[in-house]
Every structure is written in C-alpha cells, then in structure tokens.
Amino acid sequence: MNKKNSKQNSFSEDLHKINNQITTDPIRVIDSEGAMLGILPLREAIEKAEDLGLDLVEVSPNAKPPVCKIIEYGKFKYAAQKKAAEARKKQKTVEVKEIKFRPNIDTNDYEIKMRSVRKFINAGDKVKITMRFRGREMTHQDIGVKVLRRIREDLDTIVKIEQFPKLEGRQMVQVFAPNISEKVNTKSEKRILSDKEQ
C-alpha cells in the first residue's frame, strides 16, 4: 500500500483521481480488458485493482455513477499526455502579423511587402496592414485608400476582410484573415487534377 500511496501523492495534481483519491461510492467499473464489471462498492473495486497489481482510475467523474477503470496508471497517463501533445500540434496559434505600407510606395517595395503578406496568409496567420501618413500626406488620405484597395484586389480570394480600413491617429489600418474555405477548395482542385493525371 505504501507504493500505491506514494504513487497517489506524485500524481495528486493530475486531472484523474486514482485509488484512495476516489471518494464517490459506489462506482461503475471497467476492467483492464475493457469489459464492464458493473456498479461496485469503491472498496471492492480498489481491492480488485490491487489484486492485479494495477490502479483504479476515475476516467469519467461526471457520469452517474462515476466510471472507473482498472489499468496501469503510468501507461494511462503517458497515453493521455501523448494524445494531448498531438492535439496541441494540430491547433495552430493564429498570430496577427503587421506589414507597414506608405501611400507613395514604389512598385518594387509593394511587391516585396505583398510577398510577405501572402506568406503569412498561406501560413494561416492574420495580417494587419498599416498605412502610415506623414506630414501633409494626411490631407491626401485618398492615395492611401487606393493602395489599400489595390492590396485587397491583389489578395483576391485568399483572404477575407476582418476589419475594413479604419483611421487610427496618423495611420489607416485594415486586417485580413485567411479564407479557409478557399484554401480547402484549392486543395480539393489540386487533388482532382492529380487524380486525373494518374
């Protein structure tokens, strides 16, 4: 029992209660093979687990009665952590990347900045376009608006507008987000073309 108690203490902050940490009585029990043993008194379930050299783990605490499984907790914990890590990998954190433009931007600088915009959008990030006005440029905001319109037209279907041009002090801001449906459609089209070629 000392070994069991030390195991309980080391995992005391985990999401799953094990062995004597479980307080609800009775409980529904599943054995190590996945077979349902039915509703048992807590003490009896813990003894069954101990007889097999395994742990009683509360896997569904909100069920009525709670569901507990007789398993090796170390393996169970490892599998749960691995599953959570894989889920985190699939969940990409969406970032907002800022690209700064000027109203009188030349063609070369425009193309360089647009390449960065497309790269961020294709990576699944949002892009904040900041149009900065200096000095007398504030009296010619229409030039900046035209550049923002050109950006929107050049990005065409790969983006959706999250925020329309908005004046914030001496700058105009517009935010684009990836057009997920368009990316899905593009992937489907590529797959269809690939299948036809084969």
Residue boundaries of the structural domains of the chain? 8-77, 96-182
Topology alike, domains 8-77 and 96-182: no
State yes or no: cis peptide before 26, omega within 30 of 0: yes
> What is the average per-residue pLDDT within 56-62?
87
Q: How far apart are CA 87 and CA 63, in angstroms?
A: 24
- The confidence band for 72, taking pLDDT boundaries of 50, 70 and 90, is confident
Q: How far apart are CA 68 and CA 49, in angstroms?
A: 11
Q: How far apart are CA 138 and CA 13, in angstroms?
A: 58
- The confidence band for 190, taking pLDDT boundaries of 50, 70 and 90, is very low
> What is the average per-residue pLDDT within 41-50?
89
Instruction: Name residue 138's amino acid.
Output: M
- The confidence band for 14, taking pLDDT boundaries of 50, 70 and 90, is low
Cβ atoms of 136 and 81 within 8 Å: the answer is: no
pLDDT for 73? 85
> Would you say residue 47 has pLDDT above 80?
yes
Q: Phi and psi dihedrals of 51, rounded to 5? A: -60, -30
> Would you say residue 4 has pLDDT above 80?
no
pLDDT for 18? 83
User: What CATH number matches the domain at 96-182, 3.40.50.2300, 3.30.110.10, 3.30.390.50, 3.30.470.10?
Assistant: 3.30.110.10
> What is the average per-residue pLDDT within 142-148?
92
pLDDT for 181? 65
Highest mean pLDDT, choosing among 12-21, 89-98, 131-140: 131-140
Alpha helices in 56-179 (DSSP H): 73-90, 107-122, 141-155
pLDDT for 34? 82
Domain 8-77 CATH assignment equals 3.10.20.80: yes
Question: ∠ at Cα 93 (90, 99), nearest 5°?
Answer: 135
Please give the model's pTM, rounded to 2 decimal places. 0.47
Coil, strand or helix at 126? strand
- The confidence band for 177, taking pLDDT boundaries of 50, 70 and 90, is very high
